[in-house]
Structure 1
Amino acid sequence: MEQEMFCFQCEQAANCAGCTGRAGVCGKTSETARLQDRLTGALIGLARASNGEAHLAEDVCRLMIRALFATLTNVNFDPQALGQLIDLVHREQERLVPGCAVCSAPCGRAEDYDMTRLWNAPEDIRSLKSLVLFGLRGMAAYAYHAMVLDFWDDEVGQFFRRALFALGEDWGMDDLLPLALEVGEQNLACMALLDRANTHAFGTPEPAQVSMVVEPGPFIVVSGHDLLDLKLLLDQTAGTGVSVYTHGEMLPAHGYPNLRAYPHLKGNFGTAWQNQQQEFDAIPAPVLFTTNCLMPPRGSYADRVFTTGTVGYPGMVHIGADRDFSPVIQKALELGGYANRRQLSGINGGTTLTTGFAHGAVLARADQIVEAVKSGAIRHFFLVGGCDGARPGRNYYTEFVKLTPPDTVVLTLACGKFRFNDLDLGTVAGLPRLMDVGQCNDAYSAIQIALALANVFGCGVNELPLSMVLSWYEQKAVCILLTLLHLGIQNIRLGPTLPAFLSPNVLAYLAEHYHIAPITTPERDLMAMLGE
């Protein structure tokens, strides 16, 4: 009989408490959940097996990162792929402590950690260990994207071992709280590494207007976050007559000069990840998922879904490490695309999108921004971003942005922006009122913008006319939140619900020390932020 699951790592956890039974809200089966727990337990066992080593080999750290990434929500649903990762981890354990399995005096150093110990731990310990684990999973995504571009930070890599080791220990709250903040510190370094990797490979992002028109003829839709996969696909589709369109978190790719230079990178198809089952319904083109967020494909388009990298789903064609996208291109030519030009639109009816306002582009306008603030032309900045999702209540973010006064600026990032990024908010002091900073990892850009402004005005970030209204869904949002807490940023409003894995005591600690609060109504929250 199939074992039941328990999972509460994402915002859509059933009843805001946790998914149990045979399937999660995300679509993963209890078998997949069990294998992800086994993989996590094996990784903790690997970290414990390496405890005697002051420094792990880089290839072992890379394995830890790749395996953690596979346990992120909406990444890998494939039991075979997860089983292969478990085998790789076990082989590495055996290499570190050979013969341990047949030792007559077992010390437990190479045993897999039983994840039920974590899920059944005392409430506050479970909460803090979950906060650390989920933050690690999110950080693993960013580390993975950097390392495929050949950028590596060994301190970040070694931290995965240290933090995984700690999860297997019987630490109390006094030890786990600093560890959670250290996840935030290390994630800041990880996002900085990825920022360097992306700009080195693809250039410094610049503001770009993105079409939502789909031209006639064969095309491919690329979803996920991996810019290198997009670059390789663009290389391979050049001269084939196949156009390429971004989807979801790939939208910011249009801001990178070295990607925008490809004339067959046409525009953006669709909105955020949770709408894919409707937007891809009977689409006459293949869809390539490079990372999360994959939902179980419907039968109307399942035959045209391809995965690559850490993404996996049973029955889907997976493009291996050689990144030969020939099957995807062939499928695009076979399907032929639309016969006529199609004008798509955003959630609010807008037909174009703007992106590319990363820290380089915004800080190039620093003098203009500072003068506008000093003159009173710009009264306040809002960072409204994070993950999107299907749970009711996320229209809060659309209404909030619509209500922001004309003398304010809205910075946004991640897929939460699709709730409002097709709105025309106009300009203020010669600047667009809505600036798309980029992907979720570009929270680093938002942080750099805030730190630079604080430096200019000679104050702390918390004294700036800046408010943060964040939405969360999966574990990358967790590590970003921990980074903001590490930096001492306060008064963050979080929604649409608070994480199920935060116990009342842990939540009370965050509220007391960082003044984190749940969103209420757009009107009330806006008045509080503006001091009205």
Structure 2
Amino acid sequence: MEAKMFCFQCQEAAKGTGCTIKGVCGKDDKTANRMDLLLFVTKGIATVATMLHNAGIETSIQVGHFTTDALFSTITNANFDIESITKRIIKGLKLRNELIAIAKKENITLPIIDELVWNGEENSFEGKSQTVGVLREANEDIRSLKELTIYGLKGMAAYVEHAANLGYEEPELYLFIQRALADTLRKDLSAEQLTSLVLETGSFGVKAMALLDKANTSSYGNPEITHVNIGVRNNPAILISGHDLKDMEELLAQTEGTGIDIYTHSEMLPANYYPAFKKYKHFVGNYGNAWWKQREEFENFNGPILFTTNCIVPPLEGASYRDRVYTTNSTGFPGWKHIPAREDSKTKDFSEIIAHAKRCAAPNEIEHGEIIGGFAHNQVLALADKVVDAVKSGAIRKFVVMAGCDGRMKSRNYYTEFAEQLPNDCVILTAGCAKYRYNKLPLGDINGIPRVLDAGQCNDSYSLALIAMKLQEVFGLEDINQLPIVYNIAWYEQKAVIVLLALLSLGVKNIHLGPTLPAFLSPNVAKVLVENFGIGTIQTPEEDIEQLIIA
């Protein structure tokens, strides 16, 4: 069958090579191609903005905002709504042309590239979108390195946008994203230079995660050890999913005193750990598991669901919750109501979803009890003496970083089995929705230290890096790889890509990545990662425990 699209940015790439008819994630070929066109236009914007900056002419902050939103809206499972992607393209073309006009006025000679000369007539969108995808770059290795950079930038853009929503922005991050995007259009960069760009992307990824950590903790306090309820109460409720804590704050404030309860879902679970949110008596706890189980769990929730970021699974035909889902920010889905962005520093208006919740029954309980989390860097460092003593005494043999993403594939049962079989003197450090594979297992503790330390969302992998660097300092080690820490990371989408690149930029080696290596890594690029950084893939739990822990 003739290929209608090509996408290989996530772990579910069809046949381990790429989706060509319809995305495994659920997006159709027209939407996938339209996303390629949005990236095409965004690269043009980035090119002109970078040239203006190099000439000493700064563009407005809106250029940075558009670039991050465009990247974020094309991340896996974020936006399935071709109309909203098309509106972004139209907005981007207007912005691009405004920047081109400034460049011409300043006598700046722009390159003659398709991203800048295409006239952008709307009736040509569909045809043009089929010509600007990733396969446009014929050289497999160059393509691999450029796409690795772009997917890292997509993950970084998500973190930068969340920080900006809380009022924290650093111009250098916008400038780097624009320069790196522009560099992916250059024909004169060698594979070695592009490899350096990949690592530089990781370095800026660390800065982006540090900024978001500052934004979150300054706004809501440092996460603290928290026992999170996973049962339900007998009140109508709203389920909030995704990653955006500003949306969480405003939803809690607007539902206070309404009789509506609030539950977190999937990656929003760590909101339970922040002190600022604990004052709300109607904030009940967490409902459900990782993103990929939502079809069943949303049926049981009964109330409306709010997606603040990616992790949408298209509902089946006939699903009872189809008319109960709302999107906001970069997300979108055909037929779902979208809550507009904030304007003029005002709060978002959640009145429609609140009114909807009042008409719904209370959630059906799907489990009960509690789970523990809140082990971000500030909390773990407060326990540093206890942790160090446990390591020195031999009570803790090794820490295993099992951060990253969960997913649908049966092969991901590996992570549950690995956690179950891990020796009792090992502690799991986790962040991201990968935790749902083992955070409800009865793994116990070591001298009062839980054997699963959950730092939070995927972006909170920064906390795990800070913990490692602090332990390196405490033990007086010259190399971070001398620590009793090993890495067995699961990935699914582009936010996991920037976490991986960030770890590589910090000098971390011998990371096991699974359940499969990315399809966008060409054999030669994969070989470089293996030879220079010791990147490996998973085997069986028994083999990997032998290699990582016992050997």
What interval of TM-score do these two structures reach, taking the shorter chain for normalisation?
over 0.9
Q: Which residue of 2 aligns with 1:68?
A: 71
Q: Could you tell me how far apart the structure 2 residues matched to 1:199 and 1:73 are?
A: 27
Q: Which structure 2 residues correspond to residues 270-309 of structure 1 after superposition, within 5 A?
A: 270-281=288-299, 283-298=301-316, 299-309=319-329
Give the match for residue 405 of structure 2: 387
Partner SS for 1:134: helix
Are the counterparts in 1 of residues 52 and 103 from structure 2 also a CA contact under 8 Å? no
Q: Is the 8 A contact 1:224 1:291 kept in 2?
A: yes
Q: Deviations over 1:20-63 (max 9, x none)?
A: 12x21001111111111000000111122232432433221111
RMSD: 1.9
Specify the SS of the correspondent of 1:72: coil
> Partner of 1:490 in structure 2?
509
Which residue among 62, 85, 89 is the counterpart of 1:86? 89
Q: Partners of 1:151 and 1:118 in 2: how far apart?
A: 36
Structure 1 residues 130 and 106 mapped into 2: Cα distance closer, same or farther (>3 Å)? closer
Secondary structure at the residue paired with 1:5? coil
Equivalent residue number for residue 443 of structure 2: 425
SS at match of 1:19: coil
2:33 is aligned with 1:34 = yes
Counterpart Cα distance in 1 of 2:550 and 2:362: 52
- State how far apart, in whole Å, the 2-side matches of 1:501 and 1:262 are: 44
Residue 535 of structure 2 is matched in structure 1 by 516
CA distance in 2, matches of 1:402, 1:132: 35
Say which SS state the counterpart of residue 53 (structure 1) adopts. Answer: helix
Inter-partner Cα distance in structure 2 for 1:187 and 1:157: 12
Deviation at 1:510, TM superposition (A): 0.5
The farther-off stretch of 317-326 and 500-509 is 317-326
Q: Which amino acid aligns with 1:73?
A: T
Q: Does 1:48 align with 2:47?
A: yes
- Partners of 1:118 and 1:259 in 2: CA distance: 46
The aligned runs of 1:74-473 (5 Å cut-off) are 74-98=77-101, 107-108=111-112, 110-111=116-117, 115-116=132-133, 118-170=135-187, 171-281=189-299, 283-298=301-316, 299-322=319-342, 323-338=348-363, 342=365, 344=367, 351-459=369-477, 460-473=479-492
**How many Å apart are 1:406 and its aligned residue?**
1.6
**C-alpha spacing 1:327/1:240, structure 2 compared with 1 (3 Å):** same
Partner-residue secondary structure (3-state), 1:130: helix
Question: Do the aligned partners of 2:403 and 2:461 also contact (CA within 8 Å) in 1?
Answer: no
1:81 maps to amino acid: S
* Secondary structure of 2:169's aligned partner: coil
How far the C-alpha of 1:283 sits from its partner, in A, is 3.5
Return the letter of the residue paired with 1:40: L
- How many angstroms does 1:438 deviate by? 0.5
Corresponding residue for residue 11 of structure 2: 11
The count of corresponding residues between Structure 1 and Structure 2 is: 521
Specify the code of the residue in structure 1 equivalent to 2:512: R
The farther-off stretch of 360-369 and 57-66 is 57-66
Between the aligned residues of both structures, percent identity stands at 46
Give TM-score scaled by structure 2 length.
0.92
Residue 99 of structure 1, CA deviation: 9.6
Residue 521 of structure 2 corresponds to: 502
Give the deviation of 1:528 after TM superposition. 1.1
Could you state the TM-score of these two structures normalised by the residue count of structure 1? 0.95
Give structure 1 stretches of 5+ with no counterpart: 346-350
User: Which secondary structure does the structure 1 equivalent of 2:6 belong to?
Assistant: strand
- Look up the match of 1:348: none
The alpha-carbon distance between structure 1 residues 511 and 261, as it changes in their structure 2 partners (threshold 3 A), is same
Structure 2: any 5+ residue segments left out of the alignment? 119-127, 343-347
Contact 1:43 1:89 (C-alpha < 8 Å) held by counterparts: yes
Q: Once the 2 structures are TM-superposed, how far is the Cα of residue 416 of structure 1 from its aligned partner?
A: 0.7
What amino acid is aligned across from residue 477 of structure 1 in structure 2?
A: A
One-letter amino acid of the counterpart of residue 511, structure 1: V
Most deviating of 507-516 and 57-66: 57-66
Q: Is the 8 A contact 1:407 1:428 kept in 2?
A: yes
